[in-house]
Amino acid sequence: MERSGFSSKVGFIAAAAGSAVGLGNIWKFPFEVGESGGAAFVIVYLAFCLILCFPLMVAEIAIGRKAQRNPVGAFVALGYGKWSIVGKLGILSCVLILSFYNVVAGWCFGYFVEILLGNFSIGEQFPVFVKDIIKVGSYSILFMATTAYIVSRGISGGIEKAAKILMPVLFTIILVLAGYAMTLPGASKATQFYLFPDFSKITGEVVYNALGHAFFSLSLGMGAMITYGSYVGKKDNIISSAVAITLLDVGIAFMAGLMLFPMVISQGLDAHGGAGLVFMSLPGVFGNMGPVMGLVVGILFFLLLSFAALTSTVSILEIPVSYLVDEKEMKRPRAVWLVAAGIFVLGIPSLLSNGYSGFFTKFITYFGASDPTDFMTFISDVASNSFLPLNGFLIALFVAFVWKKENLFEEVSNGNKRFANTLIANFLGFSIKYLCPWILGIVFVLNVLDTFFGLTLFG
């Protein structure tokens, strides 16, 4: 059977960049920067994106395109069935990640509606808002249903089409907002914090947080790029596509910082605001911009966040769906609605874990920690901070020592005839073999020790 796919290279880049650009870029990146010493974190993050993540992205896309299969079937199709466990771990991660990611995406959309109604005090009401289960539950269902609808329409007619509309809008909004932020009174002070590194702030923890973030942000480690890669045309140039995707992702995260810090600092708020920066501090900031300006900027901002989240939830949902369609021969719409409903149900404890249910709010206390961690943070620690680097490590091992550089290069050379002896090829070969597996392996171990056992090495 002819496998459906992206109709063009631009369509693939839009969809994959849509996957990469998400809450990670606009919500998480600025507060990680705020907590980890500003520009020093940014530099480490950029270095990881280029040195480790870009080569891995090329590898994931090449595996997918060569195999023409979902992440589980891909390893079988390449002749290494035992390694399909890596694909299975990827699918497990994506189910867990989507279960809580969708809850936060629902908040974003909810905030869009609240600001549209002129409710700028929603920031102060955040603790009450997240406990209003009917409300946040409905937003979360709505978000999952929209995601499912797009995925059910297939690759070129659904995922690609949505990305081609949403990504240009998203890009325009962020340009406008960052441009506006630059005109605010505190802009130069804010930009200094953001752009001038204080290297004394770089600890071991900052380094592996930066890597974890780079990884999550580029949608690596759970087979998202294997899946999208399996829909890429044989004549397309994987290298230039991966360059475009990486640059778009990094560029948008960077602009998110340029947009957020001046807004926050211009009103005398602390840039180290943590996770609450966006949901608790920003609405008030918008409110103080004056009725019209505040409304426009606030609406645009939460629309931006919702769009960014949507193209990411779409890519995460597509992974288990492609598995069921390829391997279990399920019809796409049926697979989509089944998985979406299942993941929504799995996300209910996350929905309840922000104050509504005492049990899920104080779910678990890690070794050496004094306070309990809520369910949502726990799932995020397990799936995004542990499974993703572990899976990335395994994918890198697979490419370096099992599938081997020659096969990777052969696949990449389709659509890029002169690839083999270029500088990029040498760099890729080196990174995949000598950098990716080891650094990812170490980061995985350090992260697990730090998060769950409170043991910070090199702290």
Build a one-symbol-per-residue string for 273-312: x at contacts with ligand TRP by CB under 6 A, - elsewhere. ---------------------------------------x
- Segment near ligand TRP (CB under 6 A); pick from 51-59, 67-75, 172-180, 213-221: 213-221
Residues found in the chain: 459
Amino acid type, 24? G
Nearer to ligand TRP, 247 or 420 (CB): 247
Residues 355-394 that bind ligand TRP (CB under 6 A): 388
* Residue 104 Cβ vs ligand TRP, minimum distance, rounded to whole Å: 9
Establish if 222 lies at the interface with ligand TRP (CB under 6 A): yes
Contacts of 412 (CB under 8 A, 6+ apart): 58, 62, 238, 239, 419, 425, 428
Build a one-symbol-per-residue string for 395-434: x at contacts with ligand TRP by CB under 6 A, - elsewhere. ----------------------------------------
- Segment near ligand TRP (CB under 6 A); pick from 158-166, 180-188, 212-220, 400-408: 212-220
Establish if 216 lies at the interface with ligand TRP (CB under 6 A): yes
* Residue 426 Cβ vs ligand TRP, minimum distance, rounded to whole Å: 28
Amino acid type, 223? G
Build a one-symbol-per-residue string for 311-340: x at contacts with ligand TRP by CB under 6 A, - elsewhere. -x--xx------------------------
Q: Which of 189, 187, 202 is nearest to 37 (CA)?
A: 202
Interface with ligand TRP: number of residues (CB under 6 A): 16
* Residue 306 Cβ vs ligand TRP, minimum distance, rounded to whole Å: 12
Q: How many helices (H) and strands (E) does the chain have?
A: 25, 0
- Segment near ligand TRP (CB under 6 A); pick from 16-24, 114-122, 172-180, 330-338: 16-24
- Angular region, 415: left φ>0, alpha ψ -120 to 50, beta rest: left
Q: Which of 206, 280, 215 is nearest to 253 (CA)?
A: 215
Residue pair 188/329 in contact (Cβ under 8 Å)? The answer is no
Distance CA 147, CA 340 (A): 8
Establish if 20 lies at the interface with ligand TRP (CB under 6 A): yes
Look at the block and give the residue holding tokens 């140039």.
237
* Three-state SS at 373: strand
* Residue 225 Cβ vs ligand TRP, minimum distance, rounded to whole Å: 8
Establish if 219 lies at the interface with ligand TRP (CB under 6 A): yes
Residue pair 62/412 in contact (Cβ under 8 Å)? The answer is yes
Nearer to ligand TRP, 90 or 415 (CB): 90
- Segment near ligand TRP (CB under 6 A); pick from 18-26, 160-168, 235-243, 289-297: 18-26
Q: Which of 82, 150, 161, 88 is nearest to 323 (CA)?
A: 88
* Residue 378 Cβ vs ligand TRP, minimum distance, rounded to whole Å: 17
Nearer to ligand TRP, 20 or 248 (CB): 20
Q: What angle do CA 181, 186, 188 make, to 5 degrees?
A: 85
Distance CA 356, CA 353 (A): 6
Nearer to ligand TRP, 20 or 122 (CB): 20
**Exposure on the CB side of residue 449, measured as CA atoms within 13 A:** 14
* Residue 24 Cβ vs ligand TRP, minimum distance, rounded to whole Å: 2
* Residue 156 Cβ vs ligand TRP, minimum distance, rounded to whole Å: 19
In terms of C-beta distances under 8 Å and separation of at least 24 residues, what long-range contacts does 328-336 make, across chains too?
Answer: 332/152, 332/154, 333/152, 336/148, 336/151, 336/152
3-state secondary structure 379-397: HHHHHHHHHHHHHHHHHHH
Establish if 217 lies at the interface with ligand TRP (CB under 6 A): yes
Residues 68-107 that bind ligand TRP (CB under 6 A): none
- Segment near ligand TRP (CB under 6 A); pick from 70-78, 218-226, 255-263, 427-435: 218-226
| DSSP-assigned letters across all residues of 386-450 | IIHHHHHHHHHHIIIIIIHHHHHHHHHHTT-TTGGGSHHHHHHHHIIIIIHHHHHHHHHHHHHHH
- Segment near ligand TRP (CB under 6 A); pick from 130-138, 168-176, 215-223, 436-444: 215-223
Single out the residue of 6, 12, 25, 177 in contact with ligand TRP (rule: CB under 6 A).
Answer: 25
* Residue 391 Cβ vs ligand TRP, minimum distance, rounded to whole Å: 9
Nearer to ligand TRP, 23 or 108 (CB): 23
* Residue 382 Cβ vs ligand TRP, minimum distance, rounded to whole Å: 14
> Could you list the residues that contact ligand TRP (CB under 6 A)?
19-20, 22-25, 216-217, 219, 221-222, 224, 312, 315-316, 388
